[in-house]
Structure 1
Amino acid sequence: MSAKLQKISAGIRAGIWIIVAALTFLVPLAASSEPLRPIVLIPGVLGTRLIDSSNGDLLWGSAASLRRLDRLVLSNGPRDPSPDDGVVVDGTIQEVSVFGVWKTQQYSTLRNHLAALGYTYQEDFFEFPYDWRQSNFTSAKRLAEFVDSTPELKDRDFDIVAHSMGGLVADIYIKREDAKRQVRRVIFMGTPFKGSTDTLATLTDGWGSVQNWMAGGLNTVRRFALSMPSFYELLPTYTNCCRLGEPGQSTNYDLLTFNGWKKVAWLPDPLNDVPVDQAIRRARELRRLSEEPFPANVTPFFVAGSGFTTRWQSYIQEGAESVSAFSSGAGDGTVAEISATNQNSQLAFVSLAQHSTLFNDDAARTTLTRILTGVRTPEDRNSVALSAASPSDVVELHRIGIEAESSILEEGQSTVVTVELTANASGAAVETVPVSLELSDPEGRTIPLEAIQEVDASAPRPVVRYRSTIGPFESAGAVEVRAAISGLRATIRDYVVIIEGPR
């Protein structure tokens, strides 16, 4: 071949490679410029503000709302549909809220992440606020009405991101209410498909001394919880969740039978048997529904926490008014992993954040990005191992945890925050892992914390705890406490809400 022909051939080959390279980059750009499929966010329990329609008073949406808890008690008990009591929804929570052991961070951070992916609020991204006291079956019907009344969603395919109990609403909607088969992808984040043992902690201890006092006492908290149809649908039902008797001398206990429910003394007198029996039957139907396969048009994704100490099992004495003992297991601090993955953990993606902030974890955000943008379908599931770094070694962790003794304080009060690390194997020097604590106070200042280390040598696995006193605080608002653990790819955090004291 002549030199001239060689140059022409080389030029053609170079031109072909330029075209291929251009197509390689331009095709994804062209795909990304297509309109995004709309997405609907369904918040979890307590994730929606509730107001009094007669005067506009905020009944739920801040910690101070606990003082109006009696206004949220459903007078006729857990009937479905619940009677109209003048309480209406007013958007998703915009600040940290505390529902005893259930905590919800504002959904603005998730909204901001979706905006970064190209979604525009009220154009192709919508939030579905609902009255979380009602049965999830009722909320699913309301979701169907919401979809049909929203022009951007009606008769169009869309995706769902559902947090916590919002996933139960989504599950019912997809399998019972989505007659047009519009849903294409659904991302369940910390959804209690098989319930949460923390519901029993609410019946046993209420929400803590300050919250119980603000609400009018433990009986008021119990009465409120047991008047809600949704509460029964959150009762734990996964294998071995509930035992009748003491540890070592117990039998399985089914909370979703009315005769079994009557073995404990939880029901206040004003709640009669009929609506409670109805609520239990709906909860059983919800559990059966969770075992049904998804329609062919839907691809489900599950995001679950697994590394936090979580109430997993309860021991109940017949005739008792409370749970006698709890044991812990894997989960996100509120929902057990076995429940959040619908007893199929190999299909779940891991978040290293607690229940209230599952969507703020870097791994979870990456999973969301890949699923929603279609850049790459995630393949690695449950691939995140808990490990920390000591100055001389890597320490595999079994569980981590962070918890404030009191989640609500009045101005001028203090509480103790405990960070706990449990090693995965005996002999591991977990106490040598560096841990640093800090908080953001209601005024936005970042303050480093000093902590006292305690080593528990009596535990089956090595355990180290760090305790730090926080407060007193001079202004109302949310306090975020963060713990950075050397070598761990996530920051763990808890929230304390400061409220104004009596004036």
Structure 2
Amino acid sequence: MKSFTLFFSFAALAAALLFGCAPSPVGSYQSAATYDRVLFSDTAKEAFRFQGPERNPVVVIHGFLGAKLGNAKSCEMVWGKFSARPPAAAELQQLAHPMILGRPLREIPTALVPLSILDEADVEVGMFNFTFPGYRTAIDQLVKAGYVDANKPLPKDRKYADLFSFAYDWRRDLPETAERLHRFLLKKREELQKIYEREYGLKDYDVQFDIVAHSMGGLVARYYLMYGDRDLPEDPAKVPVPDWSGAKLVDKVIVAGTPNDGYLDTLTEMVEGLKMVAGAPVYPSGIISTFPSYYQMLPGAGGGEAVVKGDDSGKTLDLFDYGVWVMFRWGLANPAADVQLKLLLPGFYTAAERRVVALDHLKKCLARARQFRAALAVPSRPPDDVMLFLFAGDAVETAYRVEVDPRSGKLTPAGFSAGDGKVLATSARFDRTRRGAGLPFSQSPIYWQGVDHVAAAHMGLFSSNDFWRNVRYYLLQFPTVAQRERYQLNR
């Protein structure tokens, strides 16, 4: 009898499902429904409404290509509006990073300045204009969580802004950008200290920031945490010792889609040129290969690999080796780049003279990139009052191997793995685990407090409800060790 009753119950449930009468998920043990929507608990809503010094201000740091750049003198926008037509020679000339023979990268001035984050990308195609989402999605989501955007008028029910966007020149050397971030945080800290004294009677309050960083912005944030505003040593063979001086101003860092071990498309784009979307014009290799930051995202072992076609040894190429670039005639080492070098180096009258300058720049960029990445790979535990959270995409086939033609240097995709379409999940985690390691654990020099995998593409991370429901909790309700002790949250 008991078996018959159980069978009847399951049969009734199956019939209900078959005829569209699925059990309500409310109070149900049987419902297997899944949802993309987000519901907020009362405690979450209360956290959204809260404003006070106990809640850290948030800084959003964009990734590669993610800020509008303009001419400092003319205010003309050089990067930020896009068209289906090929970029004019004057545009390319301004967009390229300057090259000066024998001068260190950070001492080379540029005429461009960051204007703002690229909140949206406006694309003109003939008579039509299209808008693609940029970092406005991230700002809007944080505003929904109760943060106040410093770039908008202050709401009547709020006393001050606590959401800031750090725009930087994404072409430049990343330690230089970390130094700019330090100055930016000090300025915002001073502004908030004055507000806290006025509103709450708190003098010289120890303002701490939380950071949400996307893609290359995560490399800037991590370098800043580990080394503050320190530059790399003058000797490129030396690696600095982390002192975590940036942690004095930062509590939490959330990085999304960050190529902690690089990504393979950096090589492909510097060899073949950069195309933003299918059908768009190509930014030539000879222009984009002048960006020092590009080299600082070249793939390490977890970010992808390049092998010589026909070489059965399995040996991978060292992509930070100047000799490899010259041998395969990549980027600035390609004689064909002289078409662009004529634009960039008008004072040099022969291809041979221009090549000397270009190869000098290439050598400096590669040496600096190797040193920068070595600095980020130093195993070092952060202070207890700092937390690092990672969000990595793992639902898109992402390039992890290319084959190099030994004669032409041409690249051919030869392998794909889990990632966000740009960055492999292994690179985001800085996962150095190798087959046959004997242990199942992830091996990484980074001490993550949390790693979340999201079924999203590289820019789609910021459109994912799964991403934001967790980010909101980490920022607003998940305390650091210091906060837990200060406010006695273990009771």
Q: Does residue 171 in structure 1 map to residue 222 in structure 2?
A: yes
Q: After the TM superposition, which residues 196-275 of structure 1 pair with which residues of structure 2 at under 5 Å, given as runs?
A: 196-208=263-275, 214=281, 221-239=284-302, 241-246=304-309, 249=312, 250-266=314-330, 267=333, 268=337, 269=355, 271-275=357-361
User: Which residue of 1 is the match for residue 351 of structure 2?
Assistant: none
RCO higher in structure (CA 8 A, sep ≥6): 2
Deviates more, 1:66-75 or 1:359-368: 66-75
Q: What amino acid sits opposite 1:183 in the alignment?
A: V
SS in 2 for 1:262: helix
Q: What amino acid sits opposite 1:38 in the alignment?
A: P
Of Structure 1 and Structure 2, the greater strand share is in: 1
Tell me the distance in 2 between the aligned counterparts of 1:26 and 1:58. Answer: 44
Going from structure 1 to structure 2, the CA distance change for 1:270 and 1:133 (only over 3 Å counts) comes to: farther
After superposition, give the CA deviation of every residue in 1:305-362 in whole Å (9 maximum; x if it has no partner): 0110111111223453421333211100011111111117965201222101212111
SS in 2 for 1:96: strand
After superposition, give the CA deviation of every residue in 1:399-454 in whole Å (9 maximum; x if it has no partner): xxxxxxxxxxxxxxxxxxxxxxxxxxxxxxxxxxxxxxxxxxxxxxxxxxxxxxxx
Q: Does residue 352 in structure 1 map to residue 403 in structure 2?
A: no
Would you say the 8 A contact 1:39–1:160 is kept in 2? yes
Would you say the 8 A contact 1:302–1:349 is kept in 2? yes
User: Which residue of 1 is the match for residue 240 of structure 2?
Assistant: none
Deviates more, 1:318-327 or 1:275-284: 318-327
Deviates more, 1:157-166 or 1:351-360: 351-360
User: Which residue of 1 is the match for residue 21 of structure 2?
Assistant: none
Going from structure 1 to structure 2, the CA distance change for 1:104 and 1:195 (only over 3 Å counts) comes to: farther
Going from structure 1 to structure 2, the CA distance change for 1:44 and 1:375 (only over 3 Å counts) comes to: same
After superposition, give the CA deviation of every residue in 1:7-34 in whole Å (9 maximum; x if it has no partner): xxxxxxxxxxxxxxxxx98999589735
User: Which residue of 2 is the match for residue 387 of structure 1?
Assistant: none
SS in 1 for 2:415: strand
User: Which residue of 1 is the match for residue 119 of structure 2?
Assistant: 94
SS in 2 for 1:252: coil
Q: After the TM superposition, which residues 481-500 of structure 1 pair with which residues of structure 2 at under 5 Å, given as runs?
A: none
Would you say the 8 A contact 2:185–2:249 is kept in 1? no
User: Which residue of 1 is the match for residue 399 of structure 2?
Assistant: 311
Aligned-pair CA distance for 1:274: 3.0
Would you say the 8 A contact 1:200–1:323 is kept in 2? no
Tell me the distance in 2 between the aligned counterparts of 1:184 and 1:125. Answer: 15
Aligned-pair CA distance for 1:113: 0.8
Would you say the 8 A contact 1:115–1:121 is kept in 2? yes
After superposition, give the CA deviation of every residue in 1:1-58 in whole Å (9 maximum; x if it has no partner): xxxxxxxxxxxxxxxxxxxxxxx98999589735220111100011000011222211
Structure 2 stretches of 5 or more lacking a match? Answer: 1-40, 124-130, 151-160, 194-205, 229-244, 338-354, 433-440, 443-449, 481-491
Q: What amino acid sits opposite 2:426 in the alignment?
A: I
Would you say the 8 A contact 1:74–1:82 is kept in 2? no
SS in 1 for 2:248: coil
**Which of 267, 270, 280 is equivalent to 2:366?**
280
Tell me the distance in 1 between the aligned counterparts of 2:323 and 2:299. Answer: 17
User: Which residue of 1 is the match for residue 109 of structure 2?
Assistant: 84
Tell me the distance in 1 between the aligned counterparts of 2:477 and 2:179. Answer: 30
Going from structure 1 to structure 2, the CA distance change for 1:58 and 1:305 (only over 3 Å counts) comes to: same
Of Structure 1 and Structure 2, the greater helix share is in: 2
Would you say the 8 A contact 1:80–1:138 is kept in 2? no
Tell me the distance in 1 between the aligned counterparts of 2:213 and 2:73. Answer: 31
Q: After the TM superposition, which residues 331-480 of structure 1 pair with which residues of structure 2 at under 5 Å, given as runs?
A: 331-343=419-431, 348-374=451-477
Q: What amino acid sits opposite 1:33 in the alignment?
A: F
Tell me the distance in 1 between the aligned counterparts of 2:118 and 2:179. Answer: 21
TM-score (norm 2): 0.64
**Which of 49, 57, 63 is equivalent to 1:44?**
63
Q: What amino acid sits opposite 1:141 in the alignment?
A: E
User: Which residue of 2 is the match for residue 161 of structure 1?
Assistant: 212
User: Which residue of 2 is the match for residue 300 of structure 1?
Assistant: 388
SS in 1 for 2:390: strand
Q: Does residue 69 in structure 1 map to residue 92 in structure 2?
A: yes
User: Which residue of 2 is the match for residue 33 of structure 1?
Assistant: 50
**Which of 115, 118, 141 is equivalent to 2:143?**
115
Would you say the 8 A contact 1:96–1:104 is kept in 2? yes
Structure 1 stretches of 5 or more lacking a match? Answer: 1-23, 378-503
Aligned-pair CA distance for 1:181: 1.3
Going from structure 1 to structure 2, the CA distance change for 1:317 and 1:127 (only over 3 Å counts) comes to: same
Note the aligned Cα RMSD (angstroms).
3.2
Would you say the 8 A contact 1:45–1:132 is kept in 2? yes
Q: What amino acid sits opposite 1:106 in the alignment?
A: G
**Which of 152, 164, 167 is equivalent to 1:129?**
167
Would you say the 8 A contact 2:259–2:303 is kept in 1? no
Would you say the 8 A contact 2:61–2:217 is kept in 1? yes
Going from structure 1 to structure 2, the CA distance change for 1:106 and 1:26 (only over 3 Å counts) comes to: closer
Would you say the 8 A contact 2:264–2:303 is kept in 1? no
Aligned-pair CA distance for 1:270: 6.0
Aligned-pair CA distance for 1:286: 2.4
Tell me the distance in 2 between the aligned counterparts of 1:312 and 1:153. Answer: 44
Q: What amino acid sits opposite 2:56 in the alignment?
A: R
Would you say the 8 A contact 1:51–1:89 is kept in 2? yes
